[in-house]
Amino acid sequence: APPSGPLNVVVTGAARGIGRAVAELYAERGHHVLSADLNLPPVLAGGGRGKQPRIKADISTAAGRTRLARAAHELGQVHVLVNNAAYQGAHGSVLEVSERGWARTLSVNLTAPLLLTRELIGLMPHGAAVVNVASVQGLFAEQNNAAYNSSKGGLVNLTRAMALDLAPHGVRVNAIAPGAISTEGVLEAIASSEDPEQTRRDYEDLHALRRMGTPREAAQVVYFLGSAEASFLTGAIVPVDGGMTASFMMAGRPV
């Protein structure tokens, strides 16, 4: 049976953005949350009654994953693993992307979720869940972003492979594919663009709902996928994109 009562939840990339919102949502609702990031995640707002261990760990290294696994071991079981951390710094087209940037992107965004899940599977009871944070860019490609597109496309199908292979362990695996979410990173990119107002509208207009999503709105879907409410859901890729991928044009506007 799926677990009831407070869950033990592991969130990677929890220092900011969507990962932070996920960690906060679980903490607010009284669950125990282990937050991990390259940078020490801040104390979670909203308090909650659960434990909230925070660790520094680079999930692209064996040492970082071991550190995370050790902290998870102290919590006991792991009911929900949220593979959220990502490297988004290797921009460039298929012709331009550096071999190093390509390797780092795949290592953090694709290989780490695989290896971390393997590392934690021994702590995951029947009814546990993995939630991978993919992207609309794992479903369709964006120009000049070959490495990121490829890593998220890989993560989408890794989610399906994990769903099949972990089903015998009683572990469900799903992913969200967010559209543009108003995280610190996205807001910084807008602010530092040539025409911030226009750039913001461009982001908004990618979505049928004509706005960006909030980190909280992404977190709420992660929460659902990790919960017993989703007990017959595995191998699904859930767009959290305000209708972006419902259209073959970008929200009614030819691209």
* Amino acid of residue 204: E
Give CA separation, 78 vs 34, 46, 83, 238, in Å. Answer: 10, 22, 13, 22
185, 191, 198, 201: which one binds ligand NAD (CB under 6 A): 185
CB of 176 to ligand NAD, least distance (A): 8
If one asks whether residue 18 binds ligand NAD (CB under 6 A), the answer comes out as yes
If one asks whether residue 239 binds ligand NAD (CB under 6 A), the answer comes out as no
Q: Are 156 and 237 in contact (CB under 8 A)?
A: yes
9, 11, 12, 244: which one binds ligand NAD (CB under 6 A): 12
Number of H helices, E strands in the chain: 8, 7
Q: Are 82 and 226 in contact (CB under 8 A)?
A: yes
Q: Which residue is nearest to ligand NAD (CB)?
A: 17
If one asks whether residue 24 binds ligand NAD (CB under 6 A), the answer comes out as no
Give CA separation, 51 vs 45, 47, 166, in Å. Answer: 13, 10, 27
CB of 5 to ligand NAD, least distance (A): 28
Give the end-to-end CA distance of the chain in Å, rounded to a whole number: 47
* Contacting range for ligand NAD; rule: CB under 6 A; set: 33-41, 44-52, 72-80, 90-98: 33-41
Catalytic residues: 148
CB of 191 to ligand NAD, least distance (A): 14
Rounded Cα–Cα distance for residues 7 and 161 (Å): 25
Q: Which residues lie below 8 Å from residue 211, measured CB to CB, with a gap of 6+?
A: 204, 242
9, 11, 17, 97: which one binds ligand NAD (CB under 6 A): 17
* Contacting range for ligand NAD; rule: CB under 6 A; set: 3-11, 17-25, 162-170, 191-199: 17-25
Cβ-based nearer residue to ligand NAD, 88 or 227: 88
Residue 86: exposure state from Cβ atoms within 10 A (0-12, 13-18, ≥19): buried
Cβ-based nearer residue to ligand NAD, 37 or 234: 37
30, 39, 126, 142: which one binds ligand NAD (CB under 6 A): 39
Sheet holding 54-56, edge to edge: 54-56, 32-37, 8-12, 80-83, 129-133, 172-178, 237-240
* Contacting range for ligand NAD; rule: CB under 6 A; set: 23-31, 179-187, 194-202, 246-254: 179-187
Q: What's 49's DSSP letter?
A: S
Using CB under 6 A, list all residues that contact ligand NAD.
12-13, 15-19, 37-39, 58-60, 84-88, 108, 133, 135, 178, 180-181, 183-186
